[in-house]
Chains A and B, each alone.
Chain A
Amino acid sequence: MSANAYLVRMKPAPASLRAVVLLVLLLAAFFVSARVFSPLLLLDNIRQAAPLGVVVLGQALVLMMGRLDLSVGATASMANIVLCATFNGDMANLVPALALTLGAGALVGLANGIMATKLKIPAFLATLATSMIVAGLVVFFTGGSPRGAVPAQFRAVTEAWLFGIVPWSALIWLVLLIGLMLLVHYTMLGRKMILSGANLVAARHSGIPSDGLIVLSFVLCSLLAATGGILLSAITGMASIGVGNGFTLDSIAAAVIGGALFSGGVFLPLGAMAGALILFVVQSLLYLLALPPAAKFIVQGGIIVLALALASFRKGRSS
């Protein structure tokens, strides 16, 4: 492939750009209501949005395969419980804590993938079922009173800033984003995944092992959901049941705002990032304006409608 072709693929998709424009407008409103323009305030919001942002990347990946993962919230919540229990407040447990948490996440993804392919259960039902099982297991094993804590040193992952200007969690988010972009858009494996998502029948006829790729996307998604749960745990420092449950709906909303399609075949990491930031900044803006939480849902719903309307408006004109 020529260097030129690489550059062409680097060009962000229109849907991603629309999400970025929406984000910029929102940030303008945000800074006006904060009555202060400070890049540090923006970076601080990016830092806190990272857990959601990482989960959205996974959701976008599953959406690319034409599926939906309703278990990301339960998986992130489980990651918080498992991480705190295995860490038990001691940095010496770092390796087993991370390994066990990510391992449990991968298992959830594997279960989702196998149910969605081998057992041919529609993905949204299969993942809904796993989310219930996972949430039930958490209550069963903790008896409702979770134990342990994240050691103070580990909390630097989300609380500390590199050179005092770049939050570590933002860097982790960016590295995962670039990694996924390279995987999907620049490797043969990724291109086979896109093709399977866009047109499963055609992909199978071309001898692509689509089922395996779908399982892979679910495993990656659950791993990212567990990572989001780990980042969230670093922010809160404590174990609490159901702490990541809001990620399920937020991740779908953010991915869709960022240009993901339920029909599959599209992976827009930049859009996914902008979508997650839009949801997070909307929340911050509502705090600044001290609006009731009902307003959050109305504004979120409005933004989704706006993003989708813009997309179909563009499509209508070009066709």
Chain B
Amino acid sequence: MKQGIRMLATAAVLTAGLASAAFAAEKKYTIGYDNYFMGNSWSVQLAAEFKAEAERHKDQVDVVYVESAGDTQKQIANIEDLITKKVDAIITTPTSPTALIPALKKARAAGIKVILLASTIKSQDYDALVTVDDVAFGRAGAEWLVKQLNGKGDIIVLNGIAGLSTSDDRFKGAKEVFDKYPDIKIVAAVNASWDYAQGKQAVSNLLAANPKIDGVWSQGGAMTLGAIDAFEAAQRPLVPMTGEDNNGYLKRWKALEGKGFDSIGTSKPTWLGSEALLVTIKLLNGETVEKDMILPVPTITAADLDKFVKPDLSDSFWAGTRLTDDQVKAIFAN
């Protein structure tokens, strides 16, 4: 008799378990995540943030990962592949503002939600865009710099790569600010590819040619590091410079704080990767989301530098993260 009851109970539990599993499977979404590039630490962390968020929602979503390796042709093929797999939504970071449009159109025609992460296209063929505004990114640094210089001084500008929207938009935002102050003079605006060595080469030559430079507006932390080293090599006192939220830069800033160096770290946060998944789930649940989610640019100032700098982590870590300390350590332990 006892045995019989136990069997019945077991059966009941089993049935309940099966039923709930079936119920969950019904509600579970399949999301295609296109890992656009794995060639730099920012893109690696962007993908890691997404993965961590997907792990937190693993009862709600299954993820199909594809790798595009920075190759637009491959990205198109990957999206076609995800369409064939009949995923519910595709999250992608377009490597071209135009080339992906036909594939994304096709995806939407098949009833798949398209979410753009950190980069956009020149059409309306998407359901949501999750990014920060690069114009605002440039503006934030420029406003800080103008304030440091009391609206007056000779500055140099370090841009990324002319023609890329990130670089052009950031400079556009900065220029809007500088144009309002007639006493701010841009003595040179150069393109140094967001690269340390090129930034250093540019600044060391500009220092030789310009006895007076009062500030540096840079749209990348590596270039700012190059600028700092060029100033130090030329034995010129450091001037206010704008930077970014990468750990290598924050560490250096921290070390120079005592010498009167001041900076600002503007951020295109990698947690956009996590945000993209949250937006996708909302979309699939039928909730309305803002189509263009242009988030405000987070900044780090001297006041909260200590909160963001991680002396025990590698230089390639980015401070704008939602990863836990353990997850960060697993990727960026030095």
Contact = CB atoms under 8 A, between A and B. Distances in A.
Contacts of A283: 198, 201
Interface in A224-274: 232, 235-236, 238-243
Q: Interface size for chain A: under 10, 10 to 19, 20 to 34, or 35 or more residues?
A: 35 or more
Contacts, number: 100
Contact of A235 (B188, B200, B206, B208): B200
Given A34-B205, A34-B209, A290-B189, A241 B40 contact: yes
Nearest to B190: A287
A34 B208 contact: yes
Given A146-B316, A292-B191, A284 B334 contact: no
A306 interface: no
A144 B38 contact: yes
A25 to B, nearest CB: 18
A36 interface: yes
Interface stretch (A3-11, A40-48, A94-102, A113-121): A40-48
A145 B206 contact: no
B206 A288 contact: yes
Task: Indicate the member of A36, A48, A149 with the most B CB atoms within 10 Å.
Answer: A48
B197 A236 contact: yes
Nearest to B38: A144
B39 A284 contact: no
Given A35-B209, A145-B41, A288-B188, A243 B197 contact: yes
How many chain B residues sit at the interface, stated as a range, is 35 or more
Contact of B162 (A48, A144, A293): A293
B191 A293 contact: yes
A159 interface: yes
Nearest to A161: B233
B283 interface: no
A284 B332 contact: no
B165 to A, nearest CB: 16
Interface in B32-47: 38-41, 43-45
B248 interface: yes
B39 to A, nearest CB: 5
Interface in B183-234: 188-193, 195-198, 200-202, 204-206, 208-209, 222, 233
A294 B193 CA distance: 12
Given A35-B209, A284-B201, A287-B201, 11 more contacts: A33-B209, A48-B200, A139-B38, A143-B44, A144-B39, A147-B316, A147-B334, A240-B222, A287-B188, A287-B190, A293-B193
